[in-house]
Amino acid sequence: MKYCSFSQQVITLLFLVSAVLMSACHRDTGPTPEEIQAVKAVMEKRAVAIRNKDIELYKDVFLPDYNDGHSNYQMIIEEMAANFKQYETIEFTYQRSPVDLKMNSARMVGNVSYKTNRMQKPVANHEKTLFRRVDGQWYISGGMATGLF
């Protein structure tokens, strides 16, 4: 059995201690402003799609696997397409709330409202919008308020 000299043992020990200390000093700095803005841009794209009654643009903001327990991708697209046909104008507003982002998922909690040309007052709802990043692109993946008008 081969033994290490005292100086080799000290060097090895110092190396191990420094490696542990360096890994302990590494801190997750959280999402970048660009990542936060990319999630917020999805909500703005949703608003533009609704304002312009653009069903293709509307489809682009949702993950094809969208499912939140009471609705899925097909249901939300069909619902909005029917709304686009039924109403001359649709106004969509949302509260610009903080984004809770962790790796490839994010969440925004806030109020959304819809107002059509046939409504006196907007219909508002509290929404916990969920997002997922797939291949570098953010999509709404769940939590959207539906059936409001």
Task: Tell me phi and psi for residue 94, to 5 degrees.
Answer: -145, 150
Is 8 a domain residue? no
CATH code of residue 104: 3.10.450.50
Structural contact between residues 148 and 125, judged by C-beta atoms closer than 8 angstroms? yes
Total tally of structural domains belonging to the chain = 1
What rounded mean pLDDT belongs to the chain? Answer: 87
- Per-residue pLDDT tens for 74-119? 999 999 999 999 999 999 999 988 999 999 999 999 999 999 999 9
Which residues constitute the domain of residue 54? 32-142
The strand ranges marked E within the chain are 90-94, 99-102, 105-116, 123-134, 137-142
